[in-house]
Structure 1
Amino acid sequence: MKYIKINENGIHIVFGITDRNQIKLLHFSKADFCEEDICKFGPECKAEDLARRDQLIDEAFQLVQVNLAGYDRPYEKHGNKHICTVPGYLLTYAGMDDCVNEIGRKITVYQEDRTVTHVRLETEMQFYKGTSVVRMKNRIINEGEDTQCLEYLSSFCYTGIEKEGKSNSDAKMRVRIPYNGWQKEMSIREFTFGDVGLAQTQPGVYQRTSQILEVTNTGHWSTKKYLPLGYVENKEAHTSLFWQIEHNGSWHYEISDQNTHFYVCVSGPTEIQSHWFKNLAPGEAFESVPVAVGVADDSFEQAMGELTRYRRMIRRPNKDDEDLPVIFNDYMNCLFGDPTTAKELPLIDAAAVCGCEYYVIDAGWYAPGEWWDSVGEWKECRDRFPNGIKEVTDYIRKKGMVPGVWLELEVMGINCEKAKKAPDDWFFVRHGKRVYDRSRYQLDFRNPAVIEHVNEVIDRVVKEYGVGYIKMDYNIEPGIGTEIGAESVGQGLLEHEKAYLNWLDGVFARYPDLVIENCSSGGLRMDYALLSRYSIQSTSDQEDYRNFATIAANSPAGVTPEQAAIWSYPMRQGDKEEVIYNMVNAMLFRIHQSGHLAELSQERLALVKEGIACYKTICQDIRQALPFWPLDIADNEDLWVCGGLQLENKAYLAVWKRQMEGKNNDRYQNAGISCTEDSLSIPLGSLPFAGKGLKVSCLYPEKEPVSFELDKDILTVHYDKPVMARLFEISF
């Protein structure tokens, strides 16, 4: 066995070249490689048994899993696992390129199957200076004379995720599943392998099971059930492995076992999960979706810090993420999609007084009455705006703010006149019929006529209506794809998604200063295919400000803080603590201000103004800071919620309390954290400047005192009202 060892940015990678000239990925970790870890469990599998070890390596540890239709898969697989693929297990090593570019080191591995399928595989690994994350993707080229049907292609595959340490996986391994959903975004839960059906049940022989932990999205709402994020940690070895799938549609990852070891396979769409396959004609190639893979200590906080650094590196440079302007949007707990000139003008005045810098007219500006199933032409409604919408956008600019509007360009309502006249190839089609979802049709961005239509809308709202901000929403799920112009409906969906990204790149090329918000019923397309382009992300449509605390605290797991739009919507009927809580929700991210500001008392309005003014003093820190969770990530059932941002010399910490039905202290008390209904003790020892004599001050609000004390590196806060929140600054 010949080893190729790579150590880059703290990532230890080891490839093995076998006697059969096959390349195997044996190690991908923060820890050093230990050869004995490959084969150590069970009496028949000892480290010195080199022959047994080599057999184990021959049957597993594939760098790429790629499956073509019509070939035998002879090795142990059980069920629908994406392992033992063909030609995956047949590939032989054909060389490696190793170079450095402006981003960092780049390695490309070449494999080929010259005996059966005659395909070539290229694995690209792009490292990024300053972070322990590598971006990976695979490319397959059909170099044979026959068409091959591609059913699966991994972007990242690694066997042995549990191999460091002496104890078995039941004791040492943890996985976090990033649940996501409408009004339930960022609900991240930790499990043992046994909790998800992967307990060790054959400790003396090779473990093989049909059980798989599958985290999958099928369809166009890329995060309607999960974030495209994975995290596993080894508590004994103190290591973690994490990944991010950068795709705006169907994707899949799985964790299971193969011959004693556990593996992870990460990909875009698949045939089994996503109704996707692709015929590769001779000479044709296909590239997998990009996946970012990183290593860290066994710390979710540290892993998300590395991912935050990486996300900032791959993002389109833009002023919005540098300046972090405050946005007012008239929708949430305010006009709720029923705007008129008369309703907007007092809100514009109030937003300007409070210090907002953008003002967005949300849904409803284009049609009278109930508009849901008639959308699609996006022309101003004179019933709502008698003198035209430009009268309102001009007034917004007069008040010193940039105007914005809401659009949902990817759909047309079934009662839209333009949709009735358009041919079927404008839309997704399955079984010969247009695809319906919630009284909408899905436009197909592969069609040049569709691109002409959406470009006309963008040009009109920017040039005629004077818009500088677009809230780009998306509120349907058209399902598995479209049959028009594709071998499989999943391939039709994938091609549409790539075409949408290309169109978006063209919009930003024409209008580089235009701010476009990524919204899909809140956070249902929170992926970095889109967020490497969009500068800001709607995180949720959550209407209860108390429950928004969980989403706000956990949002850095899904998106950088400076891209995370968090609603702050003081209620018509409320008190000072309700306003403060709303403001604290948003002040470490992007303030998405709403609510009937013009109807608030002067006392409550002053708290909004103070919060926005305070935000403007710290926003330059926000765009550089990394997340920290001194009590771990928040849970929807927690009475107390805590989350913050840290820099090398200071930190900001939001602490919320919500006495509501179903909220409790159980999780913290079980973890030994001191907390009651009125007080919470927060350990700050993980901060980079801990132990240097910490100082704590209540940053917001200044004139609403709260009791707290600092004992060494533990901050204890006392909240005497049922629902409270404060923002603290920590320094030394």
Structure 2
Amino acid sequence: MPEFTWSSGSLVLAFAGGDNDPVRLCSMLPRGGADGPAETDQPLVELSAFGHGRFPGGFRHVDTVLGRSLRYVGHDVEGDRLTVRQHEPTLGLDVRSVVETTSPDSVRTWTEVTRTAGQGEGDVVLDFVSSFATGAVLPDSGAEVEDLDLVAGANDWVAESRWSTRPLREVGLARIDRELQHHAPRSRYHLTNRGSWSTGEALPTAVVTSRSSDYAMGFQVEHNGPWLHEIGETRTSLYVLASGPTDAEHQWSVRLTAGETFVTPAVGVAVVRGGADDAFGTLTAHRRGIRRQREADLSLPVVFNDYMNTLMGDPTTAKLIPLIEAAGKVGVDIFCIDAGWYADGTWWDSVGEWLPAADRFPGGLEEVLTAITDRGMAAGLWLEPEVIGVNSPLARTLPEEAFFSRGGIRLAEHGRHLLDLRHPAARGHVTAVVDRLVEGYGATFIKMDCNTMTGPGSDRGGIAPGHGLLEHNRVLLDWIDEIQARHPALLIESCASGAMRMDYATLSRLHLQSTSDQQDPVMYAPIAAAAPASILPEQAGNWAYPRTGTSTELFTLSLVNGVLGRMYLSGYLNVMTPAELALVQDAVAAHRALLPTLATSTPFWPLGLPGWEDGWVALGLRDADGGHLSVWRRPGAGAIVRLPVPHLRGTDVAVDAHFPRALDGWTADWDAAEGVLRVTVDDSIPADVASARVLRLTPA
């Protein structure tokens, strides 16, 4: 095959191969940078099938026999898209690697596998296909694995976005003498997520950085179900591989007949000259590039939700009316009634019909919704459309085929069955529910939750359970597209027990993402600060739930959590003192002042991504006029912190209080020569008191 290059924005991708070798992506660097490694034996695509595994065998998803047997057929360029075509002769597979430009320094890539009609014998059952694979990871030919760090994130209920930075040698890549052993190392780093929560245990985004040069590679799997990251070494290079579900980790496989095509989930990839912040900044641009933004999404409303630290799933007319009146006075755009509006008593395992509870609303739900609109707000409702409670009447009336099952037995987890949206009855039910909420009740905002993780998937129809889940996931995305086309003014929030479904297959479509269910505002600080590493600032729905009667500092911190991002307000506003309400109004106004530039801002972290127990936490949003900086001091931290802001080094900067209106016990001094902001908290705020401020940085 001829060696060839393809440019995507400022990135240059170089491909190579041979008559007896598969295509390899051997360099992927910004234009004008040093050449990448001249030699890599990592194929562009790895794939395996029953009867056609790996050589040598092992746990890794490289060294696949079919991947090694691929041969170049040709490549096509159409606009901002490259397609590399290869053929596998043993099974008669046509394999296409698609790469498209999403931002100046990022691409989106996936793999398409087609069983060629009239070629190969017997059944083909794929059990792994990579979406992205490259040996072009080292920043230059002189770099070593020992120079590289991995930035990756764990995720869990009320403990979301827990990032860490560790050397690759410490995360699992053991150093061996390759020449003495005559083989590549078999060790690997791998990160995976399982089931119907795409981010239930880990985040699908990671960054590889170099300590010896300005270089970072970031990547994210864009799938609303299981996925895999893998990093390891071949004989000649370091490789990065990413995919959707696999047989080994997720019980996924698919049988291909003649003419059938399987398409993998997409992976976004960014390569920059810089560090982790630069990679995350480029992934921010990438996310904006793939987002299917609608006219309704441009509004960026301030939402009040009655759940967190407030009604907690127990709304009634008597409880809601005072909250609605108070929310209307502080400048809220949407009032969302959260869980519980559909059941008269215990409701967890009886949900599914989504009809208003008569005992909760003696005058009807319409009375409450009218109260919302009469005060100048739009109405929102919580909904968990994908589940049917085990004690719901619908669990007995919907057809058996409308539910996830394994071995002919309907699955149940956490008191719920999961609807299989591949079935018309399931899809028809959830569509009718949304139509009724929008057309019957006038809802313009839906908080779409998913609190049930039902394992590997459904094997109904004799397919692998992982493929049943994959098909369901893809129908779910199609259904979301259909619903938003039917109701163009409807805004939908993604929520899954907080942020258990924080992926960009979902978020490329939806308006907002709940970043946590965490109820402690001090513990929320690192979650709010780290959220823009995974999602766009304009989609980061951070709870701000001040509690009346708490100290002014804690009250303020609770609001600071929501200012940089999308404020998701809650709390008993109706019983707050005038001073407390004034502080809430100031926070809403400070948040609104950010909205014109929020969707073009870029996140940065002066202290690095926050550790879960860090005393000082900081998040910045950089915009054309300078930027804003939220700074939290948690109990036990020192009185002084130095915050590097490299993009403003050498510039005179005015530092002002953005929220609250005065720094009150805080001082901030800018050192232009070093590009460092020195923040001090004086003795008027004791060290055991949590405190936070939002600062405005304006270049002179």
Q: TM above 0.5, one fold?
A: yes
Deviations 1:647-705 (A, max 9, x none): 13311000111106xxx5xxxxxxxxxxxx11212222x12x43221111111111452
Q: Which residue of 2 aligns with 1:726?
A: 693
Deviations 1:324-379 (A, max 9, x none): 11100000000000000000000001111110100000000000121101000000
Q: Quick one: distance in 1 between partners of 2:441 and 2:299?
A: 24
Change (3 A) 1:565 1:308: same
Report 1:699-710 matches (<5 A).
699-703=658-662, 705=664, 706-710=666-670
Change (3 A) 1:650 1:36: closer
Counterpart among 460, 472, 487 of residue 511 in structure 1: 487
Deviations 1:520-541 (A, max 9, x none): 0000000011001101000100
Is residue 573 of structure 2 the alignment partner of residue 597 of structure 1? yes
Counterpart among 627, 643, 652 of residue 693 in structure 1: 652
Report 1:262-661 matches (<5 A).
262-659=238-635
Is residue 15 of structure 2 the alignment partner of residue 12 of structure 1? no
Q: Quick one: distance in 2 between partners of 1:386 and 1:151?
A: 55
Displacement of 1:71 in angstroms is 2.8
Q: Quick one: distance in 1 between partners of 2:244 and 2:538?
A: 27
Q: Which residue of 1 aligns with 2:671?
A: 711
Q: Which residue of 1 aligns with 2:152?
A: 177
Quick one: which amino acid aligns to residue 81 of structure 1?
A: R
**TM-score w.r.t. length of structure 1:** 0.91
Q: Quick one: distance in 1 between partners of 2:537 and 2:14?
A: 34
**TM-score w.r.t. length of structure 2:** 0.95
SS of residue matched to 2:202: coil
**Given that residues 38 and 141 in structure 2 are in contact (C-alpha distance below 8 angstroms), is that contact kept between their aligned partners in structure 1?**
no
SS of residue matched to 2:283: helix
Deviations 1:252-279 (A, max 9, x none): 1111112142211110011101100000
**Given that residues 297 and 491 in structure 2 are in contact (C-alpha distance below 8 angstroms), is that contact kept between their aligned partners in structure 1?**
no
Q: Quick one: distance in 2 between partners of 1:306 and 1:254?
A: 21
Q: Quick one: distance in 2 between partners of 1:436 and 1:92?
A: 46
Q: Quick one: distance in 2 between partners of 1:163 and 1:708?
A: 37
Change (3 A) 1:35 1:643: closer
**Given that residues 668 and 680 in structure 2 are in contact (C-alpha distance below 8 angstroms), is that contact kept between their aligned partners in structure 1?**
yes
Displacement of 1:188 in angstroms is 0.9
Displacement of 1:568 in angstroms is 0.4
Is residue 76 of structure 2 the alignment partner of residue 97 of structure 1? yes
Displacement of 1:723 in angstroms is 1.4
SS of residue matched to 1:87: helix
Deviations 1:101-145 (A, max 9, x none): xxxx2111110123x1111011111113x4211110111110125
Q: Which residue of 2 aligns with 1:52?
A: none
Quick one: which amino acid aligns to residue 679 of structure 2?
A: V
Q: Quick one: distance in 2 between partners of 1:121 and 1:581?
A: 53
Quick one: which amino acid aligns to residue 197 of structure 1?
A: G
Q: Quick one: distance in 1 between partners of 2:198 and 2:381?
A: 24
SS of residue matched to 1:507: helix
Q: Quick one: distance in 1 between partners of 2:306 and 2:8?
A: 48
Deviations 1:539-586 (A, max 9, x none): 100110011110111111111000010000011331221221111111
Displacement of 1:458 in angstroms is 0.6
Is residue 51 of structure 2 the alignment partner of residue 70 of structure 1? yes
**Given that residues 148 and 168 in structure 2 are in contact (C-alpha distance below 8 angstroms), is that contact kept between their aligned partners in structure 1?**
yes
Deviations 1:133-174 (A, max 9, x none): 11101111101254311111110001242362535312x011
Change (3 A) 1:449 1:29: same
Q: Which residue of 2 aligns with 1:45?
A: none
Q: Which residue of 1 aligns with 2:163?
A: 188
Q: Quick one: distance in 2 between partners of 1:300 and 1:167?
A: 18
Quick one: which amino acid aligns to residue 641 of structure 2?
A: L
SS of residue matched to 2:610: coil
**Given that residues 175 and 191 in structure 1 are in contact (C-alpha distance below 8 angstroms), is that contact kept between their aligned partners in structure 2?**
yes
Displacement of 1:589 in angstroms is 0.5
Q: Which residue of 1 aligns with 2:192?
A: 216
Change (3 A) 1:19 1:466: closer
Is residue 99 of structure 2 the alignment partner of residue 125 of structure 1? yes
Displacement of 1:6 in angstroms is 2.6
**Given that residues 207 and 260 in structure 1 are in contact (C-alpha distance below 8 angstroms), is that contact kept between their aligned partners in structure 2?**
no
SS of residue matched to 1:501: helix
Q: Quick one: distance in 2 between partners of 1:616 and 1:526?
A: 24
Q: Which residue of 1 aligns with 2:209?
A: 233
Q: Which residue of 2 aligns with 1:680?
A: 641
SS of residue matched to 1:437: coil
**Given that residues 38 and 160 in structure 1 are in contact (C-alpha distance below 8 angstroms), is that contact kept between their aligned partners in structure 2?**
no
SS of residue matched to 1:228: strand
Decide which moves more: 721-730 or 711-720.
711-720
Report 1:3-42 matches (<5 A).
3-20=3-20, 22-30=22-30, 37-38=37-38
Change (3 A) 1:34 1:112: farther
Displacement of 1:455 in angstroms is 1.1
**Given that residues 31 and 239 in structure 1 are in contact (C-alpha distance below 8 angstroms), is that contact kept between their aligned partners in structure 2?**
no
Change (3 A) 1:486 1:9: farther
Counterpart among 219, 225, 230 of residue 254 in structure 1: 230
Displacement of 1:605 in angstroms is 1.0
Displacement of 1:31 in angstroms is 7.3
Report 1:25-174 matches (<5 A).
25-30=25-30, 37-38=37-38, 60-71=41-52, 73-74=54-55, 77-100=56-79, 105-114=80-89, 116-128=90-102, 130-143=103-116, 144=119, 146-162=122-138, 164-170=140-146, 172-174=147-149
Counterpart among 175, 182, 206 of residue 200 in structure 1: 175
Report sequence identity in percent: 36
Change (3 A) 1:168 1:714: closer
Change (3 A) 1:623 1:498: same
Q: Quick one: distance in 1 between partners of 2:558 and 2:565?
A: 13
Quick one: which amino acid aligns to residue 359 of structure 1?
A: F
Q: Quick one: distance in 2 between partners of 1:327 and 1:423?
A: 37
Change (3 A) 1:578 1:321: farther
**Given that residues 110 and 120 in structure 1 are in contact (C-alpha distance below 8 angstroms), is that contact kept between their aligned partners in structure 2?**
yes
Q: Quick one: distance in 2 between partners of 1:435 and 1:131?
A: 45
Give RMSD over aligned pairs: 1.8
Q: Which residue of 2 aligns with 1:673?
A: none
**Given that residues 517 and 538 in structure 1 are in contact (C-alpha distance below 8 angstroms), is that contact kept between their aligned partners in structure 2?**
yes
Change (3 A) 1:624 1:36: closer
Quick one: which amino acid aligns to residue 20 of structure 1?
A: N
Displacement of 1:32 in angstroms is 6.4
Q: Quick one: distance in 1 between partners of 2:462 and 2:346?
A: 36
Q: Quick one: distance in 1 between partners of 2:21 and 2:235?
A: 21
Q: Which runs of 4+ in 1 moved over 4 A?
A: 31-36, 203-207
Decide which moves more: 23-32 or 585-594.
23-32
Q: Quick one: distance in 2 between partners of 1:648 and 1:704?
A: 24
**Given that residues 22 and 44 in structure 2 are in contact (C-alpha distance below 8 angstroms), is that contact kept between their aligned partners in structure 1?**
no
SS of residue matched to 2:37: helix
Structure 2, gaps ≥5 residues long: none
**Given that residues 27 and 37 in structure 2 are in contact (C-alpha distance below 8 angstroms), is that contact kept between their aligned partners in structure 1?**
no
